[in-house]
Amino acid sequence: MAGVRTLEELLKIAPDLYEIAVFGAEPHANYNRILLSPVLAGEMTIKDIMLNDVDWYARNNIRLMLGKKVVRIDRRARQVFAADGTAEDYDRLLLATGSNPFILPVPGKDLEGVLAYRDIQDTNAMIAASKKVRHAVVVGGGLLGLEAANGLKLRGMNVTVVHLMEWLMERQLDRTAAQLLQQSLEVKGLHFLLQKQTAEILGNAGGRVRGVRFKDGSEIAADLVVMAIGIRPNTELAESAGLYCNRGIVVNDTMQTYDPKIYAVGECAAHRGVAYGLVAPLFEMAKVCANHLAHFGIGRYQGSVSSTKLKVTGIDLFSAGDFAGGGGTEEIVLNDALGGVYKKIVLRDDRIVGTVLYGDTTDGSWYFQLLRDKQSVAGIRDQLMFGQNHLGNSGHQGQSRAVAMADTMEVCGCNGVCKGAIVKAIKERGLFTLDDVRKHTKASSSCGSCTGLVEQILASTVGGAYAPQLAATKPLCGCTDYTHEQVRKTIREQKLLSIPAVMKFLEWREPNGCASCRPALNYYLLCAWPHEVQDDPQSRFINERAHANIQKDGTFSVVPRMFGGITNADQLRRIADIVDKYQIPTVKVTGGQRIDLLGVKKEDLPKVWRDLDMPSGHAYAKALRTVKTCVGSEWCRFGVQDSTNMGIDLEKDLWRMYAPHKVKMAVSGCPRNCAESGVKDVGVIGVDSGWEIYVGGNGGIKTEVAQFLCKVKTREEVLEYAGAFLQLYREEARYLDRTVHYVKRVGLDEIKKRIVDDAANRKALYARLKHALEGVPDPWKERAAGEDRREFEALAV
Amino acid sequence: MKAAALRVVRASTWVRVCRLEDIPPLGARVVHREAGDIAVFRNAGNEVFALADRCPHKGGPLSQGIVHGNKVACPLHGWNIRLEDGRAVAPDEGCAATFPVRIESGEVFLQI
């Protein structure tokens, strides 16, 4: 799997670089070995788990040589030789020799009826045996052993699992979870013998297995013995070629062996002393290896934290990281023995380092993501155990578990995609990543609120093969392997001043990028070098290019700015006249205390702006939208602060401010909070003694309550703290992340440290924001005066 | 048995629409027409392409999208449409009509 995966990745990024020949020892093309268990259990067929058929190789001009095992590498001549004498020259060689099952070196191991559990042949042999004989003994109570035992049981055999250790799956589970697991499996009819060491496999006169004898002298009858104790990297070929091996073929961070022309990926490779047997790490290796083979040379494999799911129908089990705890760790545990639910989260310094879930694994991928991103959970510790209580349109409150969902249930409300369509696409098209699912089904590709649910469906459909993309290493887009942070850092350090300069310096794969990276780069450049970088309108989304919001029929909407939500008769009269003059079909009061003119023709926009003579409301931009206010102490009998004027001051201070995403603010004049400051990016609430500032709220896709940043006394302080926070967000958030995502990523404590505790830093941030906004013109005024005319004019024929 | 004999009712003609520099590089202009708008694109290499200004997905005005390489991303839902043949980039499926384009001494002509 790892080898072909590498080729797939390579073909994606450098399709014409190599002539490729693939040797396979097995007589068939490659399949998803992870799904052998469902095949054994009769839930899938071999056909279901084939990944790349012979046609795939042909389509990609890969010469496939099946049934030809490579037996020798001549590194000096750069040639490989198959057992039948076939020779092939190479410039680069990729070893994906996998692993061999470990067979206990006990007497009787070669008897007929003693099998390993590793490949299609083993699986077929087990299925055949289950039809003829009755008693099966599985040696090894790990992941593979239990899946084998479950499969054999489902095929009607009487199965006993023999395990050396005190409890099952001791490398993935703690004692409590293992006992719950054992109970469930016993209910399914499996038998267990723990702390039993196999001494000998007993045979009958015909050379066939008849039983197993243990070290304590006891015996058990067996017609079939399956060894599922572990695997050993297959290093025979590499060793014969003189490549350094130590519990695997030793590779560096770019997957090269000690001979740099030879790469190794998958279970045969030992990276930093670890050989991985799970799929997710193999896929990560494949990506890095392909990257290096394609001469990009920037990807590094730095080891994986892997997670485990047991593929036994009806049993939910998830484990990841350091679940054993101890040594400076803390544990949060939920143990409902009767309900069959056990959850343990292990924390160190407010970060998840491990987890074991049994019975309810809904939040496994979420915990795993937090673990891999090393994200602080200080702020959500008390809710952590109850899970990511929002799973998208069909998954509010975590009630809906992907596995339990019916195929007809809608997952993605934006694009109307139901579960069945997603599962079908994953199976038929061999999808493994969230991005793939988005591309093929559109699910989770719009608002993203069902992402968690889609990931769950993906995880439950492909099993352990699912590798969630690590946010910290996620590339900016498909045109590059660099992350948002790396790109921004390079822009600052190299003082890059244009999109082509960034693309050239960082060796962008597409000559002028894509619709995802260009707007991000344009923003990053303008944010890093205000007044020096020339804005690139062609790299802006249409709304920001035309300074109005495109509607489904291609017309636009116009929202003039009304500072603090205050307007007057003169403005209203002008708006009314414009509605008549340009026959604007809809006039609507917005949620942000402004007026929206909908259905304006693009050609009319500059004229509408000229007649309005009001500033742009930026209702179309990733920028400061509105500062919503209540009437405050000037009129309200409860008001304790002049919220209206505070809102006007904030809006006048910050308007024209572009940001990674839209920014919404509010100011309330008393704790009754009529301006709804609790769901804004920056919310201000007047109290008797001053102002409370809240950050990171959101009223959109997923309602998020803003978090308390600090309390200040004066108007000037409100401007400085709010501005400093927004500048921090502008400088550090990834493009299209709202403040809530940014605050979650870095943690409120970190933000407090830099805004509240560090006065010098706060003042510097605020000064940088003021500098960026200094002299920035009103885009409407400019265009009303004739700037960028051709954007709005149609061509005449 | 049926047979259909088709005859050309109106011959298409070449019309001048603008100068090359009237279209921004990696940008587009739109031509209004009774029979439906036409989007005229210019790529980074100064090649010009013309498509019906209707995304095969939900009719979005392609002329308003971001042009990258020889593709345009529809402004409504982000489908990528190839400028050369109007086809949606896989896995999306659909096609926008194309119009022949000719550039002569800096002037852009469309066949419509």
Q: What's domain A316-388's superfamily in CATH?
A: FAD/NAD-linked reductase, C-terminal dimerisation domain (3.30.390.30)
Stated as kind and residue range, the H or E segment containing A574 is helix A569-581
Instruction: Point out the residue among B15, B24, B66 whose CB comes nearest to the CB of A797.
Output: B15
Domain extents in chain A: 2-99+233-293, 103-229, 316-388, 389-464, 625-777
CA angle A555, A556, A561 (to 5 degrees): 165
Contact criterion met (CB < 8 Å) for B44 and A511:
yes
Give CA A345 to chain center in angstroms: 20
Owner of token pair 């790109």: A487
Please name the residue ranges forming H helices in A411-498: 419-429, 434-441, 451-462, 484-493
In chain A, what is the straight-line distance between the N-terminal and C-terminal CA atoms, in Å?
58
Chain B residues at the A interface, defined by Cβ less than 8 Å, are 15-18, 22, 24-27, 29-33, 40, 44, 58, 60-61, 64-69, 73, 75-78, 80, 91, 110, 112
Contact A453, A400 (CB under 8 A): yes
What residue type is assigned to position A547 of the chain? Answer: H
Sign of the dihedral through C-alpha A597, A600, A605, A610:
negative
pTM score: 0.67
A539 contacts chain B (CB < 8 A):
yes
C-alpha span between A285 and A271 (Å, rounded): 10
Q: What are the Cα distances from residue A10, in Å, to A4, A105, A795, B54? A: 10, 40, 44, 35
Closest CA to A662 of A719, A604, A737, A716: A737
Q: Which residues of A292-330 are buried (b: 16+ CB within 10 A; e: fewer)?
A: bbbebeebebeebbbbbbbbbeebbbbbbbbbbbeeeee
Q: Are B65 and A515 an interchain contact pair (Cβ–Cβ within 8 Å)?
A: yes
Smallest CA–CA distance, residue B32 to chain A, in Å, is: 7
What is the gyration radius of the CA atoms in chain A, in angstroms?
A: 31
CA distance B12 to A532: 48
At A124, list the tokens: 């077929």
Q: Give the CA angle between residues A21, A24, A25 to the nearest 5°.
A: 150
For domain A625-777, which CATH number applies: 3.30.413.10, 3.90.1010.10, 1.10.10.10, 3.40.50.2300?
3.30.413.10
Q: Is A367 helix (H, G, I), strand (E, B) or coil?
A: helix
Secondary structure (3-state) at A690: strand
Mean pLDDT by 10 residues, chain A (797 residues): 87 86 83 80 81 85 89 93 91 91 90 88 90 93 89 92 92 88 90 94 91 93 92 92 94 94 93 83 88 83 79 78 83 86 91 89 80 82 73 38 75 81 85 83 77 80 65 82 93 95 93 93 97 95 96 95 97 97 96 96 96 97 97 94 97 97 97 96 96 94 91 97 98 95 91 96 97 95 93 89
Q: Which of A439, A515, A538 sits opposite B27 (nearest CB)?
A: A538
Residue type for A596, please? D
Q: How many angstroms away from the CA of A321 is the closest CA of chain B?
A: 36
Contacts of A429 (CB under 8 A, 6+ apart): A436, A440
Residue of B nearest to A436 (CA): B91
Q: Is the pLDDT of residue B63 over 90?
A: yes
What fold does the segment set A389-464 form as a domain? Arc Repressor Mutant, subunit A (1.10.10)
- A554 with B91: Cβ contact below 8 A: no
Q: What pLDDT, on a 0 to 100 scale, did the predictor assign at position B5?
A: 56
Looking at per-residue confidence, does B73 or A702 come out higher?
B73
| CATH class of the region A103-229 | alpha beta
Beta-carbon neighbour count of residue A408 at 10 Å? 9
The DSSP symbol for A793 reads: P
Task: Determine, for residues B76 and A446 on separate chains, whether the beta-carbon distance falls below 8 Å.
Answer: no
**Secondary structure in 3-state letters for A695-712:** ECCECCCCCECCEEEEEE
Please report the pLDDT score of residue A470 as a whole number.
63
Interface test with A, best of B66, B71, B80, B93 (most A CBs within 10 A): B66
Tokens of A383: 């809710």
Q: What is the ipTM of this complex?
A: 0.88
Written as one string, the DSSP assignment of A484-549 is HHHHHHHHHHTT--SHHHHHHHTT-SSTT--TTHHHHHHHHHHHHSTTTSPP-GGGS-HHHHHTSE
Q: Which of A463, A450, A437 is nearest to A410 (CA)?
A: A450
Closest Cβ–Cβ partner in B17, B32, B67 for A538? B67
What distances in angstroms separate CA A408 from CA A404, A417, A459, one per listed residue? 12, 9, 19
Fold agreement between A103-229 and A389-464: no
Are B2 and A784 contacting, i.e. CB atoms less than 8 angstroms apart? no
Task: Look at residues A463, A424, A437 and name the one whose alpha carbon lies nearest to residue A32.
Answer: A463
The pLDDT of residue B6 is 56
Sign of CA dihedral A78, A80, A86, A89: negative
Per-residue pLDDT at A399: 39
For A236, other C-beta atoms within 10 Å of its C-beta total: 13
Secondary structure (DSSP) of A577-643: HHHHHTT--EEEE-TTSSEEEEEE-GGGHHHHHHHH---B--TTSSBEEEEEE--GGGT-SS--S-H
Identify residue B13 by its one-letter amino acid code.
T
Q: So what's the pLDDT on residue A311?
A: 67
Q: Do A790 and B22 touch (CB under 8 A)?
A: yes
- List alpha helices for A188-278, DSSP H: 236-240
A-B C-beta contacts closer than 8 Å: 75
Q: A512–B24: do the CB atoms touch at under 8 Å?
A: no
Q: How far apart are CA A231 and CA A529, in angstroms?
A: 55
Measured distance CA(A443)–CA(A369) in Å, rounded? 20
Instruction: Report yes or no: A637 at the B interface, CB cutoff 8 Å.
Output: no
Contact B58 A552 (CB under 8 A): yes
Superfamily of chain region B23-111: Rieske [2Fe-2S] iron-sulphur domain (2.102.10.10)
Point out the residue among B61, B66, B80 whose CB comes nearest to the CB of A554.
Answer: B61
Mutual angle of helices A434-441 and A419-429, in 10-degree steps: 110
Buried b (16+ CB within 10 A) or exposed e, A147-157: bbbbbbbbbeb
Residue A12, pLDDT score: 84
Are the C-beta atoms of residues A299 and A292 closer than 8 Å to each other?
yes
Query: φ, ψ for residue A570 (rounded to 5)?
Result: -60, -50
A796 chain-B contacts, CB cut-off 8 A: 31
Q: Where are the domains of chain B?
A: 23-111
Rounded CA separation A255/A271 (Å): 8
Sign of dihedral through CA atoms A762, A763, A766, A772? negative
Classify domain A2-99+233-293 at the CATH topology level: FAD/NAD(P)-binding domain (3.50.50)
Per the CB < 8 A criterion, the answer to whether A379 and A401 are in contact is no
CA dihedral (A774, A616, A549, A673) in degrees, to 10, reads: 90
Cβ atoms of residues A621 and A658 within 8 Å: yes
pLDDT on residue A396: 36
Indicate the DSSP class of residue A25: S
- Nearest residue on chain A to B27, alpha-carbon basis: A538
Using alpha carbons, list the distances in angstroms from residue A637 to A179, A251, A689.
64, 73, 17
Q: What would you measure as the largest C-alpha separation in chain B, in angstroms? A: 54
Say how far apart CA B66 and CA A660 lie, in whole Å: 18
The closest of A520, A447, A454 to A483, measured between CA atoms, is: A520
Q: How far is A621 from chain B (nearest CA, A)?
A: 14
